Structure 1
Amino acid sequence: AVAALVSIIIVRFGFLEVRPALATFFGALACAGLSILVGLAAFVAIWQNGSRGMSRILLALVIDAVILAYPAYLGLQYRKLPPIHDITTDPIDPPRFEALARLRSGEGTNSAVYAGLYSAEQQRIAYPDIETVELEVPPQRAYEVTLALVAKRKWLVIDERPPQLPRRIGRIEAVARTPIMGFREDISIRVTPDGEESRVDIRSSSRYFESDLGSNAARVSKLIEDINSAVDNAKPAQKKPQTPAKLQAKTVKK
């Protein structure tokens, strides 16, 4: 358990490069698996001989099972989800990584260039609801809403440019991290005008590994949902037209 915890800290805080750090983590998992085998053998021996120590063996087995539960879940996700790492609302013209490109040029990192048609087709099959966000607000307002949501998520903003004349295109580049291991995943957001309204395109791409186990799609889907909700909630409530009160007919006393 201690080895697994230490390996997670090493990976999350970057004390080693990603691949050596992962080797440490998988080594800890192997130790946990070996510990389960030894524990089961000890359990059988104690059961047959009636020796003491059953409670400690059971506690060790529970701890090892908890350690291996999350990697087992990831293994199931790996089998179920397509092996892609680059998700975008616009596969034809995805938002580019400009400020982030230099961080994706080292050995073992995924390219800043979009993953291509194979990735787009796999995304379409697995995540058909990920599409461009169309908003009935001006680009500046769409940009402000999106930037506020990025800040709320505590993503590290690397570059942000509000929409300005003449093209009125806004851009946000940021870095998110996976919840447990802290792997870096890069995000590029583009806000473009559509007449007096606006369109928001999002791209989220893992910096390492060929498969993201669904993390980028989940991030993009949640951001799309929150952008739509924020814009809808900010719309002024439409007042229902009041119908004029009916005039009561006057009666003449006779």
Structure 2
Amino acid sequence: MKRYAAYKTRSAPASRIVGAVALALAVTAYLSKRFGFVDADVFALSLAGAGVAALLAIGLALIAFQRIWAHGGPGLPSALTGMLLAAIALVAPGIILGMLVLQAGPDDLSTNRLDPPNMKIQALSEEQPFLGWFNTSLETHLWPAITQVTGSEPKTTGRSRQYPDIVPRRYRIPPAQLHAAGAKAVDTLGWVVVDELPPDLLDAPTRLQAVGTSRLLGLKHDVSLRIRPDPLGALLDVRARSQTPLKDLTGNADNIRLVFAEIDRVLLETYGDLARLSVDEDELEDEPEIVPLQEPRDTIPLPGFKPYFEEEEGPEVDDFGLTDLEG
């Protein structure tokens, strides 16, 4: 009996090889970014390459399925393996793209938007042109197009979004004690202090700047604490700024909330009663206005008598030897 050669498709082994390459590229890119070996632009471009390779592997697997269905022959396990590897490789690019598109948080957020705390270290976003271009394209092209198609309200960008809980906070303790609580909170969060103005007096203004790292992608962000004296005690302003346009599971708003929560925890452990230390904005509005007892004067009031101080008798001042100088 004559045997015919079994049909073998080349798409199935090619799908397996390309899928393995895509998965290896995605894993290598993630580990390199997590441990700080590559910058954000290289990471994003590597994930884009992994995504393209994964889509190619899925396309080759579909072609292999069609040819095996039509002509028979081996290759089904290789095509299934290639599709599975490609699907796993697409997880990381999908998550990053989803966070870039859906989690459009602000790159720079402060409790005081008119006068934010200063930062010593500049952000590195200007050194990442690909991600900067991608974010600009999202804001200028993607969201307006989606708005026109769906007829919904325009999506608010990170800079125009309002956060009602991100406001300055007042405490009924001196600035030096609040600075100590802020320094302990930053140390507990595992952030590295890069700039500090420690208090030299109890009521002197202070500042503290630290660099934190996100847990998922290892992204860097700067957090600055500014403490100034206030009639009620101390006024705290916090500013958080991303060093990259990439997004993680937590944004700058969450970083500021994390600082507030950790400072509250430190003060609660130290003083035991946080209600008597923190001051809400509502309490400031309810305080009565101080009215002077007298009308303001146009001139400075002068005393009605000339003060007299009795001088003590002391030795007379001699001429300090002026005759010697004249000679």
After TM superposition, is the score higher than 0.5? yes
Aligned residues of 2:47 and 2:93 also touching (Cα < 8 A) = no
Q: Which protein shows a greater Rg? A: 2
Equivalent residue, structure 2, for 1:180:
216
Q: Please provide the CA RMSD for this pair.
A: 3.5
Deviations, residues 2-58 of structure 1 (Å, cap 9, x unaligned): 21121223334444454234322321232223233334444555677484654x655
Residues of 2 paired with 1:128 and 1:43: CA distance? 54
Could you say what secondary structure the match of 1:26 adopts? helix
Residues of 2 paired with 1:50 and 1:235: CA distance? 77
Equivalent residue, structure 2, for 1:96:
118
Percent identity of equivalent pairs: 25
Q: State yes or no: 1:147 paired with 2:169.
A: no
Equivalent residue, structure 2, for 1:245:
none
Structure 2 gaps of 5+ residues are: 1-22, 132-155, 275-327
Q: State yes or no: 1:24 paired with 2:25.
A: no
Q: 2:242 aligned to 202, 206, 216, which one?
A: 206
Change (3 A) 1:52 1:63: closer
Change (3 A) 1:171 1:221: same
Residues of 2 paired with 1:70 and 1:81: CA distance? 16
Q: Which amino acid aligns with 1:26?
A: A
Change (3 A) 1:144 1:33: farther
Change (3 A) 1:192 1:27: same
Aligned residues of 1:87 and 1:123 also touching (Cα < 8 A) = no
Residues of 1 paired with 2:183 and 2:65: CA distance? 55
Structure 1 gaps of 5+ residues are: 111-117, 239-254
Map 1:151-166 → 2, pairs under 5 A: 151-165=187-201
Map 1:85-124 → 2, pairs under 5 A: 85-98=107-120, 100-101=121-122, 104=124, 107-108=127-128, 122-124=160-162
Residues of 2 paired with 1:235 and 1:179: CA distance? 31
* CA-CA distance at 1:84 after TM superposition: 2.9
Equivalent residue, structure 1, for 2:14:
none
Deviations, residues 58-106 of structure 1 (Å, cap 9, x unaligned): 55544443443343244334333446311111111111112x14x6597
Change (3 A) 1:8 1:236: closer
Residues of 2 paired with 1:19 and 1:44: CA distance? 38
Q: Which amino acid aligns with 1:69?
A: V
Q: 2:87 aligned to 62, 65, 90, which one?
A: 65
Aligned residues of 1:171 and 1:188 also touching (Cα < 8 A) = yes
Deviates further, 127-136 or 200-209 = 127-136
- Given the two structures, how large is their TM-score scaled by the length of structure 1? 0.70
Deviations, residues 183-240 of structure 1 (Å, cap 9, x unaligned): 322221112222353222111111232x6466212222222222223323433369xx
Deviations, residues 143-168 of structure 1 (Å, cap 9, x unaligned): 22221221222222211222333862
Equivalent residue, structure 2, for 1:78:
100
Change (3 A) 1:237 1:167: closer
Residues of 2 paired with 1:66 and 1:123: CA distance? 34
Q: State yes or no: 1:232 paired with 2:268.
A: yes
Aligned residues of 1:85 and 1:212 also touching (Cα < 8 A) = no
Residues of 1 paired with 2:45 and 2:109: CA distance? 27
Residues of 2 paired with 1:10 and 1:94: CA distance? 34
Q: Which amino acid aligns with 1:136?
A: R
Residues of 2 paired with 1:90 and 1:219: CA distance? 15
Paired residues in the alignment total 225
Change (3 A) 1:139 1:63: farther
- Given the two structures, how large is their TM-score scaled by the length of structure 2? 0.57
Q: 2:252 aligned to 196, 216, 222, which one?
A: 216
